[in-house]
Structure formats: structure tokens, C-alpha cells
């Protein structure tokens, strides 16, 4: 961008460059926030690369020598919700800042803190209980662990770092010499279906989430890998216990002990990638249980891509009772990878000019999901095959608001399975350019839903439905024009 201005100065009678200045304060107190990371993103075809600055002790920031155009301004700071200038709500998309030559708009941003949940853990006599761990779960199926805390000497706890949304809270199991307490939800129930749901708002703590842990029998799962691995190799072992309420992990040992567990189904995984060994065992827990996890050499899973396009890029994530794990790019050697026993989901990232047209799991049994999305299979040294086809589709159009092009508007595209009514892959998003034009490329044939809006950031499928996202059918080798009206909540 400085190069732009230098060229401008070398040219005759060209107006000076633009400047964007601003100030960032804490929302509740209005006090300036220093060391906030501020990012400036040009909206195409505005020239220049993203820039980063940090606020000074007065909360001020400045981006100088800017080319005329539109920019998205983002701010982030530990302990605060990330924000974009012009947001209506904490999870809305920001409005771009449009600047002409010789202009210097001044932006004011008020940052919201993350929220928390506060309550007290009390015994049967209403006395605060010290040292009880409390976990906050996002109210989803299965529930997702977000954060945890421990009660203080008065039994008071605060779970920090929460985005606004719906949560349930639960104590973990606890034992002492006289009594044991089973995991209990607020309000005093062991079943998540009967748990109290708390709605958390931005920049506020939800209070009164008190819990009276119920006395009851807790169990333990203990054991070791079998056969015993050499002690020096046990340092590579990771033991994971999964249930519908989350995962627990111990590392660097072949022996394990998980205590304070309520009855129910569990899954045990042992994995040592460095030595290529792993094992799996399901557990139906109704008493103290000792288990030997049989660890064997992990058989290599073979990935075949037709036609062959070099080393394939394949994402994989484990799937268990706790849901899906964090996706990671597979490290392939001769198109083979170590996938420990259990359920996995994989997705091929197609090379340029292609799309995924087929997926075949173990024994080449065709899956029912769209092949370009996440597909599940049981890893046991099986073969997985993808088919590629050339000529993916494209989609473009103009987004208008009250008949005028919408500059810098986010456009969300959801690959949609209308039969199973679910999202197939991660949501894609682009912003319109200075003329309100957007484009998506490399689309596999199928059904999609498109929504242009500043109201949300990365909306869920249910939100797309409520906002009236436009359904689109994309065909191979097509470039379909789909003009959209900017959605707004009036």
C-alpha cells in the first residue's frame, strides 16, 4: 500500500492516500485497551495485503498510506470476544469501511469480554463444598466440553471463557473417605435430558447455577496394555477414555486408571504412533473393571485415488462416543497411513480442476453420504478408495441491498444433503467485492444453500434455514449465476 502512495506521489496531481484511525475500549467501563491486535483486510479489488497493528496505551491505532477502497477491520485480545468493526451483535459479521483518497475515518470499537457461569456446590446441609470440579458443556448432541473450574473454600465456582449460547453444567465424580458423589447436573439430576439449561449472554456472567451433588456409587476402570510394551516405549503411549460426556487422556504410560466414573458405555483407545501400535476396547461399566487393552501393530490403511493425481491430500478425524475429534491432514507414505483401530471419518481435498465423485469404504461398500464430504469407516487395515472427476462447478452472482450492490457482504455457501437434511462439509464463505460480486469455485455437483448477510458469522444449518437460504443445484462444468438479496433482520 505504501508503494501505491509512492506511485501516486510520482504521478501528477493525484490525491493523497487514505488513513484509517480508531480507538478501542472495554465495553463496560469505557477504559482504553492497549496491545489489542487490529487487522486490516482489503476487500477485492482494493489493492494491498492484510496489515496488522497494535493499540497504544490510549487504545489508539492507525493504518496510513491506504489505497482507496473498502476494508474489514478486526480486533482481538485475550479475554475478549473477537470483533469486527460494524458488528450488530457479538456473532455478526462486520461492515466494511469504505475510504476515498484524502479521507481519514475514525473508528470506535467497544470490545466485549467472554462470559462465565457462576454457582455454588453445596452438600446436604447447604454447606459449600471445596475442591469439586465443574464442567460446562455446550448444549448439543453429543454435548461438547467447553471449559471447567474448581470450587473454592466456600464452594463457589466460576467457569470462564464462554461464548454466548446455551450450556449445561455438571460436577465430576468425587470421593472421600466417607462418601462418594456421582456426576450431577444443575438442577440435581444425573440425566442430561433433565438438566437445567442456562443461557449465557455476551459480557455477562450467568449466576445461580448451584449444584447439590448426589451421593452414589462410582466406579473405576484400571488396566494396562497387553502384551506389555517395553518401558522405554511406553513413553509414546496415549490412553483415551471416551464417553458421551467427553474424553479423558493419560500419556506416557502403558498402565491406566480412570476413577470416579458413573455407570454407562465407554470406549478405551490405546495408541502409540511412534512405534506403530494401538488397541481398542468398548466397556459397559456397572462395577469396578480391570481391562487389558490388546495392542498390536497398527495395520496400514491404504488410500487409492482414481485417477492417480500424485500424493493425495486427505483429512481425517476420529469418531467416538464423545463425537468427532479435531481434523488433521494425514501423513501418507506410499498412499498408506497409520489409523489406530476404531471409527474414522475422512475427506479428500481434490486437486485443482477436479472434484470427489466417489467414495468406497472397507470391502468397497459404497457409503450413503455425499463423497465430497466426511465419510465414515472402521479402520482395521482396510482399503479406502476415492474417485475423481474433472470439471467442478462454479457459482457467482451479485448481492444487492435495496437494489444497490452490497459491498463486502459475507456470502455463505453450505453443501447440503436434502435427503438426510444435514451439512456435508464445512461452511464456505467469501465477501463480495466493490461491485457486490461474489464467486465460489471448485464445487462438486450437488445441492447447496446460499445466504448473504451481515447478521451472522458462520451460521449453523438451522440458522440458514430460518434466514431463508437459497437452494441451488450445481452441475459439473457449469458456472451458475445466482443473484442474492442481502438478508437482514428488520
Tens of pLDDT, residue by residue over 295-315, are 989 999 999 999 987 889 999
Is residue 230 predicted with pLDDT exceeding 80?
Answer: no
- Cα–Cα distance measured from residue 265 to residue 485, given in angstroms and rounded to the nearest whole number: 48
State yes or no: pLDDT of 366 exceeds 60: no
Q: How many CA atoms lie within 13 A of 37 on its CB side?
A: 11
Set of cell numbers at residue 202: 455476551
**pLDDT tens per residue, range 396-418:** 999 999 999 999 999 999 999 99
Quick one: pLDDT band at residue 464, thresholds 50, 70, 90? very high
CATH architecture designation of domain 2-111: Sandwich (2.60)
Nearest to 23 by CA among 78, 112, 105: 105
Question: Is the model's pLDDT at 227 over the cut of 90?
Answer: no
pLDDT at 4 over 80: no
Domain boundaries, the chain: 2-111, 115-215, 219-293, 300-390, 393-485
The pLDDT-based confidence of 8 (bands split at 50, 70, 90) is very low
In this structure, which topology does domain 300-390 adopt according to CATH? Immunoglobulin-like (2.60.40)
- Residue 73, pLDDT above cutoff 80: yes
Q: Can you give the pTM of this predicted structure?
A: 0.88
Number of helices (H), then strands (E), in the chain: 3, 45
Residue of 467, 395, 397, 401 whose CA lies nearest to 432: 397
pLDDT at 81: 97
Distance CA 89, CA 201 (A): 11
* Arithmetic mean of pLDDT over the chain: 92
Q: Do domains 2-111 and 115-215 have the same CATH topology?
A: yes
Q: Quote the pLDDT of residue 6.
A: 47
The C-alpha atoms of residue 6 and residue 41 are separated, in whole angstroms, by 21
Please count the other Cβ atoms lying within 10 Å of the Cβ belonging to residue 364.
Answer: 11
CA dihedral in degrees (242, 244, 245, 250; nearest 10)?
A: 0
> Domain 393-485 is in which class?
mainly beta
Average of per-residue pLDDT across 330-350: 92
Mean pLDDT of 263-275: 92
CA angle, 72 as apex, 107 and 471 as ends, to 5°? Answer: 135
**Would you say residue 363 has pLDDT above 70?**
no
Does CATH number 2.60.40.10 belong to domain 115-215? Answer: yes
- DSSP assigned state of 462: H
**Per-residue confidence (pLDDT) for residue 341, from 0 to 100:** 87
% of the chain surpassing 70 pLDDT: 95
> What is the mean pLDDT of the segment spanning 43-49?
94
Q: Cα–Cα distance between 418 and 114 in angstroms, integer?
A: 36
Q: What is the mean pLDDT of residues 373-390?
A: 90
Q: What is the pLDDT of residues 426-451, one digit of tens each?
A: 999 999 999 999 999 999 999 999 99
Cell numbers at 410, concatenated? 459475507
In CATH, what number does 219-293 get? Answer: 2.60.40.10
Per-residue CA distances from 427 to 93, 137, 413 (Å): 15, 23, 6
User: Is residue 187 predicted with pLDDT exceeding 90?
Assistant: no
Q: Which distant-in-sequence residues (6+ apart) come within 8 Å of 114 by Cβ?
A: 79, 80, 81, 160, 161, 162, 163
Amino acid at each position: 500500500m505504501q508503494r501505491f502512495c509512492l506511485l501516486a506521489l510520482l504521478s501528477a496531481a493525484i490525491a493523497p492516500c487514505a488513513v484509517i484511525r480508531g480507538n478501542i475500549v472495554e465495553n463496560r467501563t469505557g477504559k482504553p485497551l492497549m496491545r489489542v491486535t487490529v487487522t486490516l483486510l482489503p476487500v477485492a479489488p482494493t489493492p494491498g495485503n492484510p496489515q496488522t497493528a497494535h493499540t497504544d496505551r490510549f487504545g489508539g491505532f492507525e493504518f496510513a498510506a491506504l489505497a482507496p477502497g473498502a476494508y474489514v477491520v478486526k480486533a482481538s485480545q485475550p479475554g475478549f470476544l473477537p470483533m469486527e468493526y460494524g458488528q450488530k451483535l457479538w456473532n455478526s459479521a462486520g461492515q466494511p469501511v469504505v475510504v476515498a483518497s484524502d479521507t481519514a475515518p475514525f473508528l470506535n470499537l467497544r470490545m466485549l469480554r467472554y462470559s462465565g457461569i457462576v454457582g455454588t456446590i453445596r452438600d446436604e446441609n447447604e454447606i459449600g463444598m471445596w475442591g469439586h470440579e465443574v464442567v460446562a458443556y455446550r448444549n448439543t448432541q453429543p454435548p461438547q466440553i467447553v471449559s471447567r473450574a474448581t470450587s473454592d473454600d466456600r464452594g463457589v465456582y466460576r467457569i470462564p471463557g464462554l461464548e454466548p449460547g446455551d450450556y449445561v453444567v455438571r460436577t465430576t465424580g468425587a470421593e472421600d473417605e466417607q462418601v462418594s458423589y456421582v456426576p450431577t447436573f444443575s438442577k440435581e439430576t444425573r440425566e442430561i435430558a433433565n438438566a437445567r439449561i442456562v443461557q449465557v449472554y455476551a459480557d455477562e456472567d450467568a449466576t445461580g447455577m448451584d449444584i447439590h451433588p448426589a451421593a452414589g456409587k462410582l466406579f473405576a476402570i484400571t488396566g494396562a496394555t497387553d502384551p506389555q510394551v517395553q518401558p522405554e516405549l511406553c513413553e509414546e503411549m496415549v490412553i483415551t477414555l471416551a464417553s458421551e460426556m467427553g474424553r479423558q487422556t493419560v500419556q506416557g504410560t502403558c498402565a491406566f486408571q480412570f476413577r470416579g466414573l458413573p455407570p454407562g458405555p465407554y470406549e478405551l483407545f490405546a495408541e502409540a504412533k511412534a512405534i506403530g501400535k494401538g488397541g481398542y476396547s468398548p466397556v459397559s461399566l456397572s462395577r469396578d473393571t480391570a481391562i487389558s487393552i490388546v495392542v498390536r501393530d497398527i495395520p496400514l490403511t491404504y488410500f487409492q485415488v482414481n485417477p492417480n493425481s500424485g500424493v493425495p491430500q486427505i483429512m481425517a478425524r476420529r469418531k467416538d462416543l464423545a463425537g468427532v475429534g479435531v481434523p488433521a491432514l494425514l501423513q501418507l507414505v506410499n498412499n498408506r497411513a497409520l489409523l489406530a483401530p476404531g471409527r474414522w471419518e475422512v475427506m479428500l481435498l481434490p486437486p485443482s480442476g477436479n472434484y470427489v465423485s466417489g467414495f468406497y469404504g472397507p470391502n468397497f461398500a459404497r457409503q450413503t453420504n455425499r463423497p465430497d464430504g466426511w465419510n465414515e469407516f472402521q479402520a482395521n487395515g482396510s482399503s479406502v478408495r476415492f474417485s475423481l472427476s474433472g470439471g467442478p462447478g462454479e457459482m457467482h452472482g451479485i448481492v444487492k441491498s435495496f437494489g444497490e450492490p452490497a459491498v463486502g457482504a459475507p456470502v455463505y455457501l453450505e453443501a447440503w444433503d436434502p435427503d438426510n437434511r444435514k451439512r456435508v462439509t464445512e461452511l464456505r464463505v467469501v465477501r463480495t467485492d466493490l461491485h457486490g460480486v461474489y464467486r465460489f469455485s471448485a464445487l462438486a455437483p450437488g445441492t447447496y444453500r446460499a445466504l448473504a448477510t451481515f447478521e451472522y458469522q458462520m451460521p449453523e444449518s438451522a440458522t440458514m434455514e430460518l434466514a431463508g437460504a437459497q437452494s441451488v443445484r450445481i452441475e459439473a462444468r457449469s458456472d451458475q449465476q445466482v443473484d442474492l438479496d442481502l438478508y437482514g433482520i428488520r
